Each structure stands twice: as C-alpha cells, then as structure tokens.
Amino acid sequence: QVQLQESGPGLVKPSETLSLTCTVSGDSISSYYWSWIRQPPGKGLEWIGYIYYSGSTNYNPSLKSRVAISVDTSKNQFSLKLTSVTAADTAVYYCARTIYAFWSGYHYWYFDLWGRGTLVTVSS
C-alpha cells in the first residue's frame, strides 16, 4: 500500500533552516498534490503548503516568506525547507497526499494519506 515517511533532523538551532523530506512508496508521486502540515506539541494543525508533481506550489501566507517546497520525481520524494526558525516552529511535521478531484461538476480537496510525522525541536 502507499506509505509516506518523513525524514530529517529532529533538532534545529534558532535562526537556522529546517529541512525535511517525505519519501513516497507504493505509488508514483506523479499526478498528485503533496502537502506539509505541522502540529505544535499539544496544539492544533496548521497547513504549511502544497506542491504539485509538476512543481507548482501554494503556501500558507503566514509562512510564505520562509517556506520552500520542492519535488524530486526521480526519487519519489518531496521536501520542505523553512528558514530562520524560532522556538515557535517546534512541532510535529507531517507530509500528506493531497487529493484534488473534479466530478459531477464539483471540486473536492482533502488529505487522504498522511505520514507518521516527525518531531522537530528548535533549540540551541
């Protein structure tokens, strides 16, 4: 079955860049959208942004100046970079397959598959 796995450093220093990769197995990364979502400890969910396999992106405006999401179809991976991190960026980071569908005249979006998440702590 399709699986998503986040990987990257679990500890990042303040002002540095957080870098994570999501590896997709069991299916091709092509023909889908892919998102990053994060969850600070004990808090709710925040959508960071998505990328289409072709490379087009859409970011949360609150993070847009610091975020870059890229895709490597040859490796079936997509990645997140978040610059100038602070303690407020400490969170569990999830990658998720993002479905866009159009049928019966309606558009649908939803996250149908999620990775298990990886905790990234920002601390010196």
Binding site for other proteins (CB under 8 A): 44-47, 58-62, 94, 99, 106-112, 114-117
Nearer Cβ to other proteins (5/19): 5
Nearer Cβ to other proteins (1/74): 1
CB of 74 to other proteins, least distance (A): 26
Nearer Cβ to other proteins (29/48): 48
Which amino acid is located at 118 in the chain? T
CB of 70 to other proteins, least distance (A): 19
